[in-house]
Each structure stands twice: as structure tokens, then as C-alpha cells.
């Protein structure tokens, strides 16, 4: 389906997108966060988690070393960072399938386990631009339609 392209001129815009996505996502959704170091993947994951928690002060530690942090919220959310994933079969051991069965999975560095992530995943690519970042959302129509509605575009 058509990609959704959203200019993000500053950090506040990235945070707003995370909040909007929090309203659009449902249990069973996998959001793959793709982009270089410093692109804003963790900033977006943090704002999305805080919005689902309805708590601006929610601590969102980086899962760089643990590879996953799970949150028992209104909708359970698991935040993965696969940068240090060794063999891609490790994703199993991290409980990815169980996390997806009951909640939302946010995945930083999805390139490390592309073949294991659900084909129905929604990909959010964040790219550096002279004026901030550019976000591009792609995925099956069922997911992108819900996102368009929550973004009112």
C-alpha cells in the first residue's frame, strides 16, 4: 500500500508521532523502527510507551544490553533492540512470539532478524534530513489505514 511520509522538523514532532501511533496500534502489531544511530528510534519508542502508559514520567531504559524490556500496561508493550542479537534464533528465546500474541512489539534494528519478524509488520523508517528527520511508514493496508486515521491524513 502507499507509504505514509511525515516530515519531523524537530524532536517534538517525533514525540508527537509516537503519541499518535500509540492510539493506532493494537495487540498483535509489530512496529519495526529502522534508521541510523541518532535517527530517533528510541525517542519515538519512549513517547509511544509513555502514551500507552498515560504517564509522562515513565522510565524507558534502553534495551541495548537486555535486548528486550517489557511493560505491563493497558496494552502490554515489549521494546526490543536487536543490535546485539547474535544468531537470529535468539529472538525465540527473548519471547518475541509470546509478546506479540498479547501485545505490541516495538523493534529497533529489525534488520538483525528480518526473516523472523512477521510479514504483517509496520515499518517506520527515520532518516536524517537537513531540517530534522523524515519518517516513512510502510506495511499492509490494514495497519497503515489505522495509522492514517489516527494521524487524520
Q: Show the cell assigned to 150.
A: 489516527
- Report how far apart, in Å, the C-alpha atoms of 103 and of each of 10, 37, 117 are: 29, 26, 15
138 near ligand ADP, judged by CB under 6 A: no
Q: Give the one entry of ligand ADP, Mg ion, none that residue 40 binds, where binding means its C-beta sits below a cut-off of 5 to 8 angstroms depending on kind.
A: ligand ADP
Q: Which is nearer to ligand ADP, 5 or 142 (CB)?
A: 5
CA gap 3, 96 in Å, rounded: 26
42 near Mg ion, judged by CB under 5 A: yes
Residues 44-83 that bind ligand ADP (CB under 6 A): none
CA gap 27, 99 in Å, rounded: 9
Beta strand pairing call for 77-81 and 104-108: parallel
CA gap 150, 131 in Å, rounded: 25
Least CB distance to ligand ADP at residue 127 (A): 10
Q: Which is nearer to ligand ADP, 45 or 104 (CB)?
A: 45
Residue numbers at the binding site for ligand ADP (CB under 6 A) = 8, 10-11, 13-14, 35, 37-43, 132-133
Amino acid at each position: 500500500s502507499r507509504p505514509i511520509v511525515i516530515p519531523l522538523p524537530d524532536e517534538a514532532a517525533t514525540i508527537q508521532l509516537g503519541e499518535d501511533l500509540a492510539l493506532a496500534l493494537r495487540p498483535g502489531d509489530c512496529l519495526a523502527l529502522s534508521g541510523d544511530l541518532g535517527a530517533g528510534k528510541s525517542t519515538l519508542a519512549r513517547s509511544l510507551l509513555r502514551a500507552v502508559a498515560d504517564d509522562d514520567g515513565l522510565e524507558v531504559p534502553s534495551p541495548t544490553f537486555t535486548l528486550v524490556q517489557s511493560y505491563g500496561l493497558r496494552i502490554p508493550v515489549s521494546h526490543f533492540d536487536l543490535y546485539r542479537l547474535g544468531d537470529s534464533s535468539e529472538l525465540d528465546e527473548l519471547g518475541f512470539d509470546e509478546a506479540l500474541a498479547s501485545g505490541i512489539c516495538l523493534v529497533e534494528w529489525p534488520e538483525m532478524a528480518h526473516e523472523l519478524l512477521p510479514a504483517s509488520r509496520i515499518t517506520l523508517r527515520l532518516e536524517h534530513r537537513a531540517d530534522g528527520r523524515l519518517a516513512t511508514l510502510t506495511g499492509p493496508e490494514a495497519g497503515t489505514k489505522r495509522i492514517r486515521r489516527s494521524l487524520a491524513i
